[in-house]
Amino acid sequence: MESTPVKLKLSENALKVLQRRYLKKNEEGMVIEAPEDLFRRVAGAIAQADLNYGHSPQEVATVEEEFYQMMTQLEFLPNSPTLMNAGRRLGQLSACFVLPVDDSMESIFEAVKNAAIIHKSGGGTGFSFSRLRPNGDVVGSTKGISSGPISFMTVFDTATEAVKQGGTRRGANMGILRVDHPDILEFITCKDNNTKLNNFNISVALTEEFMKKVEEDGEYELINPRTGRIVKTLRARDVFDQIVRHAWGNGEPGIVFLDRINKSNPTPQLGEIESTNPCGEQPLLPYESCNLGSINLAKMVHDGGIDWERLRKTTHRAVHFLDNVIDVNKYPLKQIEEMTRANRKIGLGVMGWADMLIQLGIPYNSEDALRLAEEVMGFISAEGWKASEALAEERGVFPNYEKSIYAGTKRVRNATVTTIAPTGTLSIIAGCSSGIEPLFAVSFVRNVLEGTKLLEINPYFERIARERGFYSRELMERIADTGSVHDIEEVPDDVKRVFVTAHDITPEDHIRMQAAFQKYVDNAVSKTVNFPNSATPEDVKKVYLLAYKLGCKGVTVYRDGSREEQVLSKGTAKKKEEGMAVPATEVPGGKISPRKRPEVIKGTTRQMQTGCGNLYVTVNEDEMGNPFEVFNHIGKAGGCASSQSEAIGRLVSLALRSNIAPEEIIKQLKGISCHQHAWSSTGKISSCADAIAKALELYMTRGNGNGRKQVDVVMRIGACPECGGPVEHEGGCAVCRNCGHTKCG
């Protein structure tokens, strides 16, 4: 079939993300593939599966063209490994896997090895550690003492850290422990230390029995998985409150409702589901993998209404596409290939939901939005199952069909059809809002080149602002300060109601939207419930209970700025505990004499763009790799700006040499504002003092010097480790909207 010319409309940021992460490169690292070539490569590779079912080369060419048009029109995109690897030598197309971890050294280290192989191929892994005997339990072969699940999690974490260094897509893990495991309290607190388990998301598996005891204020039993015996009982509300307090403090652990997940397990005869993929939306049996893809709902609106026919056609083509992926995929392990082909799970989801609502003039936090969510996802689910039934007629049911809940009811090709996954980088490519999340910001500043700013404005908002006469560059820049129009007087109230952001709506609104979609999703829904910094643990608790009441399968929360507070407090405490810095000298009268400067000292210099010109900030470190002094140089010598920056540098150096924690210095200087603002790779620079604080903060978080906090910590506090851009917490993950970097693979 002759190819139809396609006008591929990609934003500058989408092109940058594609070049950085998806397009083919030669041995010198030069991009040798255009975006159109990528989509042609993927469409051609996936369409080849049709040859297995008696289709002619001409029919396969027609299918290829349909897939190509669907992707280049940005109606549907598959998960990142498929875009990266389809039609290439690696050929590993799955995003998520679950591996078993049984209670033996052989099983544990087999899982470590297999996880490394999966991470090398670009996939993420989920594990349940609930089968492992608890800390302090007997080891039969040696009569020694077990170190418990958390100690073994560090082995997985270390292996992931080693493997991910050379990958194009970062490995990520989910660690799950049942709430009735004897080590549950240790698990809840295992990520309090920011230097550990940075390659894990963690979730507590809550049972129906536990939730019943929470409601009754009763006690529940902890059971040793090795013996099946009751070890002790705990008050359920105390444990629940512990989970809540830690989630409030740094976003982890998340929770999954394990019995609810297994209630919708399509193949219960094959075993119980114990874990999910890294972002929690894909429950899987051991050795299962899943192939995910998302329909862009922003493209499904026409003339002020939903184009149901286009949505139906896209759904059918997407199911066909994802089923083909199972056939052409090169699996990293034989067991995974066998299990995946036997159950043929696919996960079709959506992105651009907020964009659809905006085009229809419906506020995200409204009853109309909830009703439409059920209608849209119900339609996709119904049409998705019709497509799976049609494929079953042509290709046959999935091999484990007779062991499934569908046997004798409906003949289907796939054990599951729908999943709502995070779409961080995919939504950047598609130029739409992420997953089912509300807008991240109405307007924000993105960095194009060092020191060059680009004001990003939501295109729907810009069009309305121009049409209704309240657009101005100055207004858009003011909106970019917070991303919200909530408190902007010039914006009409009816526009404010439609253009709400993640922090303009209540946490309860987040959960209600998640629950509305979950009603028509076979697997689960990946979403982040955003809280303001002022939220209390009780607020988090209410949301958890609401999620349980409304039928969600799990919850991930993020309180704005919470992880930054944790980083600062833990970082300071750690230095005191370990004695990392050489002590200053106390002199009579209780005063501190700063440490003496050695003759030779090393450091790094960073250029920061300020309203007064380029500021060069040099941070020198002591022999332990800790910041020791700061020198500043701005533009031409002399003048007020130069003298002020020099003064700040001297005082910062004095504080550092007197063992004042760098985090405390950053806290004092960051955000100080003057009349001339500028923009750099860290975002808005309010003053020279602010620039110095951010330069020191970057030094502390981006790997300059020994013992610096890891990249994942940077992602937590809102700055991308690759470009310094803003980080959005969405879909149970964190993604940089500037360059596409994500901590979840």
Active site residues: 277, 279, 281
Determine the 3-state secondary structure of 296 from DSSP: strand
Q: Count, in order, helices (H) and strands (E) of the chain.
A: 25, 29
User: Cα–Cα distance between 713 and 702 in angstroms, integer?
Assistant: 9
Task: Say if CB 731 and CB 422 are below 8 A apart.
Answer: yes
Task: Say if CB 361 and CB 501 are below 8 A apart.
Answer: no
* CA terminus-to-terminus distance, the chain: 36
User: Cα–Cα distance between 453 and 611 in angstroms, integer?
Assistant: 13
The set of residues, in sequence order, having a beta carbon less than 8 Å from that of 350 and lying 6+ positions away, is 294, 295, 296, 297, 376, 377, 380, 420, 435, 436
| Amino acid found at 707 | G
Instruction: List the alpha helices (DSSP H) in 468-600.
Output: 473-482, 493-498, 507-518, 537-550, 562-578
Other beta carbons within 10 Å of 58:
8
Q: What is the DSSP letter of 53?
A: G
Q: Please return the burial class of 493, using the count of CB atoms within 10 Å of its CB with bins 0-12, 13-18 and 19+.
A: exposed
Other beta carbons within 10 Å of 596:
9
Sign of CA dihedral 183, 188, 193, 194: positive
User: Cα–Cα distance between 285 and 719 in angstroms, integer?
Assistant: 35
DSSP states along 60-122 = HHHHHHHHHHHHHTTSEEE-HHHHHHTTSSS-----EEE----SSHHHHHHHHHHHHHHHHTT
Classify each residue of 148-184 as buried b or exposed e, where b means 16 or more C-beta atoms within 10 Å of its C-beta. Answer: bbbebbeebbebbeebbeeeebbbbbbbbbbbbbbbb
- Can you give 314-368 as a three-state secondary structure string? HHHHHHHHHHHHHHHCCCCCHHHHHHHHHHCCEEEEEECHHHHHHHHCCCCCCHH
Task: Say if CB 255 and CB 239 are below 8 A apart.
Answer: no
Sign of CA dihedral 737, 741, 744, 745: positive
User: Cα–Cα distance between 363 and 37 in angstroms, integer?
Assistant: 38
User: Cα–Cα distance between 125 and 129 in angstroms, integer?
Assistant: 13
Question: What CA–CA distances, in Å, run from 290 to 151, 177, 293, 366, 617?
Answer: 29, 22, 10, 33, 47
- Can you give 393-461 as a three-state secondary structure string? HHHCCCCCHHHCCCCCCCCCCCCCCECECCCHHHHHHHCCCCCCCCECCCEEEEEEECCEEEEEECHHH
- Which residue in 431, 477, 488, 485 sits closest to 461, CA to CA? 485
Q: What is the DSSP letter of 303?
A: T
The set of residues, in sequence order, having a beta carbon less than 8 Å from that of 433 and lying 6+ positions away, is 298, 351, 352, 353, 354, 355, 427, 439, 440
